[in-house]
Amino acid sequence: MTREEKSQVIEDLTAKLADTSIVYLTDISGLDAATTSNLRRACFKANVELAVVKNTLLSKAMEASDKEFGELQDVLKGNTSLMISETGNGPAKVIKEFRKKSDKPLLKGAYVEESVYVGDDQLDTLVNIKSKEELIGDIITLLQSPAKNVISALQSGGQTLSGIVKTLSER
């Protein structure tokens, strides 16, 4: 790879890192071609982009980025695959589901909405992260609950009142 090609790859990675707020670093070494193909297919279905990257180029792209990746640069050893997604828990769900059949991919670390997670033991935490849309849905549900209670109380009170008026008019 020539120096120009390397600088182009670094620029592309820097732009990709700038455009997203969810980055997972995984190790998929040791997977055979069929298993890797199945992993790529699972990532595609979950709207997760999977790319194998060189550690030094990714490290330089992280340095050039305006984001603070913290300890993630320390895990750039051995084989590294980059998973990029729009949802914070998307790649974690793909990894967890895929590990039911295989012992890989291993989670090296993740950068999710300005938070850094390092180590494979963080996988369950990342699976349970709610996406922005899920949080908004929860908030809307919580806000609607008191309004629904007031409306149902008013409706039941109106029915009771009309029953009383009807009974009095019949007397």
How does pLDDT run across 71-97, given as a tens digit for each residue?
877 788 888 888 888 888 888 888 888
| Residue closest to 110 by CA, chosen among 128, 130, 89, 94 | 89
Assess whether 51 and 112 both reside in one domain.
yes
Amino acid in position 131: S
- What's the pTM value of the predicted model, to 2 decimals? 0.72
> What domain range includes position 52?
3-129
Assess whether 140 and 122 both reside in one domain.
no
CATH number at residue 13: 3.30.70.1730
User: Parallel, antiparallel, or unpaired: how do β-strands 106-112 and 22-27 relate?
Assistant: antiparallel
Q: What is the DSSP letter of 68?
A: -
- pLDDT-derived band at 157 (thresholds 50, 70, 90) equals low
Assess whether 108 and 134 both reside in one domain.
no
Assess whether 106 and 159 both reside in one domain.
no
Q: In what order do the strands lie in the sheet with 22-27?
A: 48-53, 80-85, 22-27, 106-112, 115-118
Assess whether 104 and 66 both reside in one domain.
yes
Task: Count the domains in the chain.
Answer: 2
Assess whether 134 and 100 both reside in one domain.
no
Assess whether 164 and 100 both reside in one domain.
no
